[in-house]
Structure 1
Amino acid sequence: METLHLLADGFAVALTPTNLMLALLGCFLGTLIGSLPGLGPVNGVAILIPVAFSLDLDPTSALIMLTCIYYGCMYGGRISSILLNIPGDEPAIMTTLDGYPMAKAGKASEALAISAVASFIGATFATIGLTLFAPMLASVAIHFGPSDYFALYVMAFATIGGITGVNPFKTLIAAFLGLMIAAVGLDPGTGVARFTFDSFHLYDGFDPIVAIVGLFAISEVLMYLERMDQLQGKMVPLGRAIPKLKDILSGGWAYMRGSVIGFVSGVLPGAGASLGAFLSYIAEQRWSDKNGSFGKGDPKGVAAPEAGNNSASGGALIPMLTLGVPGSGTTAVMLALLLSLNIQPGPLLFERQPDIVWGLIAALYIANFVLLLLNIPLISLFTRMLSMPQWLLMPFVVMVSFMGVYSISHSTFDLLVMVGFGIFGYILRKIGVSLVPIILGLLLGAEMENNLRRALSISDGDFLILFQSPIALALYAFTAVMLGLSFYLAFRKNQRGGEARQDE
Structure 2
Amino acid sequence: MDALNGLIDGFGVAFTPANLLYVFLGVLMGTVIGMLPGLGPISAISLMIPIAFTMDPVSAIIMLAGVYYGAIFGGSTSSILLNAPGVAGTVATSFDGYPMARQGKAGKALAVAAIASFVGGTAGVIGLMLIAPSLSAVAVSFGPAEYFSLMVLGLTAVVSLSGNNLTKGLISGTVGVMIALIGIDSQTSTQRFTFGQIELFEGVEFLIVALGVFALAEVFVMLVNGGKGSGREGTITTLRLNRRELKDMSGPTGRGSVLGFFIGVLPGAGATVASFLSYSFEKRLAKDGKTFGKGNIKGVAAPESANNAAAVGSFVPLLTLGVPGSGTTAVLLGALLVLGVQPGPLLMTENPDMFWGVVASMYIGNIVLLILNLPLIPLFAKVLKTPQKLLLPLVVVFCVVGVYGQSFSVFDLWLLVAFGVVGFLMRANDFPAAPLILGLILGGLMEKSMRQALLISSGDFSAFVTKPISAALLAVAVLSMTAPLFGAWRRRRKAGRAATTPTPAPAQAPDERIDA
- TM-score of the pair, normalised by structure 2: 0.65
| Aligned counterpart, 2:47 | 56
Matches of 2:497 and 2:66, distance apart in 1: 50
User: Quick check: 1:68 aligned with 2:65?
Assistant: no
Matches of 2:256 and 2:184, distance apart in 1: 40
- Classify 1:422/1:197 alpha carbon distance in 2 versus 1 (closer, same or farther; 3 Å): same
Gaps of 5+ in 1: 31-43, 81-86, 285-300, 325-333, 344-348
Deviations 1:265-310 (A, max 9, x none): 65674644544665786499xxxxxxxxxxxxxxxx9997775554
- Classify 1:199/1:379 alpha carbon distance in 2 versus 1 (closer, same or farther; 3 Å): closer
1:388 deviates by 1.2
Matches of 1:54 and 1:368, distance apart in 2: 18
Matches of 1:29 and 1:501, distance apart in 2: 58
1:321 deviates by 6.9
The 8 Å contact of residues 265 and 312 in structure 1, kept in 2 or not, is answered as yes
| Aligned counterpart, 2:308 | 314
1:44-443 correspondence runs (5 A)? 46-49=37-40, 52=43, 56-58=47-49, 64-65=66-67, 67-72=69-74, 89-92=94-97, 119=116, 122-123=119-120, 126-128=123-125, 130-131=127-128, 132=130, 136-163=134-161, 167-226=165-224, 228-229=227-228, 231-235=231-235, 256-264=250-258, 266=260, 269=273, 271-272=276-277, 274-275=279-280, 278=283, 282=287, 308=302, 310-317=304-311, 351=344, 365-366=363-364, 368-374=366-372, 377-378=375-376, 380-443=378-441
Matches of 1:482 and 1:205, distance apart in 2: 30
- Classify 1:280/1:374 alpha carbon distance in 2 versus 1 (closer, same or farther; 3 Å): farther
| Aligned counterpart, 1:483 | 481
- Classify 1:384/1:156 alpha carbon distance in 2 versus 1 (closer, same or farther; 3 Å): closer
Matches of 1:499 and 1:237, distance apart in 2: 46
- Classify 1:353/1:339 alpha carbon distance in 2 versus 1 (closer, same or farther; 3 Å): farther
1:352 deviates by 9.4
Matches of 1:10 and 1:278, distance apart in 2: 42
Matches of 2:207 and 2:113, distance apart in 1: 31
| Aligned counterpart, 1:23 | 27
Q: For 1:229, what is the secondary structure of its paired residue? A: coil
Question: Which residue identity lines up with residue 233 of structure 2 in the other structure?
Answer: G
User: Quick check: 1:459 aligned with 2:450?
Assistant: no
1:502 deviates by 11
| Aligned counterpart, 2:508 | none
The 8 Å contact of residues 97 and 300 in structure 2, kept in 1 or not, is answered as yes
| Aligned counterpart, 2:268 | none
Gaps of 5+ in 2: 51-60, 83-91, 264-272, 290-294, 319-324, 335-341, 502-516
Q: For 1:198, what is the secondary structure of its paired residue? A: coil
Matches of 2:312 and 2:42, distance apart in 1: 25
Matches of 1:172 and 1:464, distance apart in 2: 24
Matches of 1:163 and 1:407, distance apart in 2: 35
| Aligned counterpart, 1:294 | none
Matches of 1:198 and 1:116, distance apart in 2: 43
1:492 deviates by 5.6
Matches of 1:72 and 1:53, distance apart in 2: 12
1:140 deviates by 1.0
Q: How many corresponding residue pairs?
A: 442
Q: For 1:439, what is the secondary structure of its paired residue? A: helix
Deviations 1:12-47 (A, max 9, x none): 8994646632422554687xxxxxxxxxxxxx5644
Deviations 1:140-188 (A, max 9, x none): 1212222222222222221222246554332222221122122222223
Matches of 1:318 and 1:490, distance apart in 2: 39
- Classify 1:427/1:64 alpha carbon distance in 2 versus 1 (closer, same or farther; 3 Å): farther
Question: Which residue identity lines up with residue 234 of structure 2 in the other structure?
Answer: K
Question: Which residue identity lines up with residue 140 of structure 2 in the other structure?
Answer: I
| Aligned counterpart, 1:445 | 443
- Classify 1:137/1:173 alpha carbon distance in 2 versus 1 (closer, same or farther; 3 Å): farther
The 8 Å contact of residues 26 and 72 in structure 1, kept in 2 or not, is answered as yes
1:398 deviates by 1.9
The 8 Å contact of residues 125 and 259 in structure 1, kept in 2 or not, is answered as no
Deviations 1:80-131 (A, max 9, x none): 9xxxxxx9943448979xx98xx9xxxx99x799858954774355434653
Matches of 1:265 and 1:493, distance apart in 2: 32
Matches of 1:429 and 1:210, distance apart in 2: 18
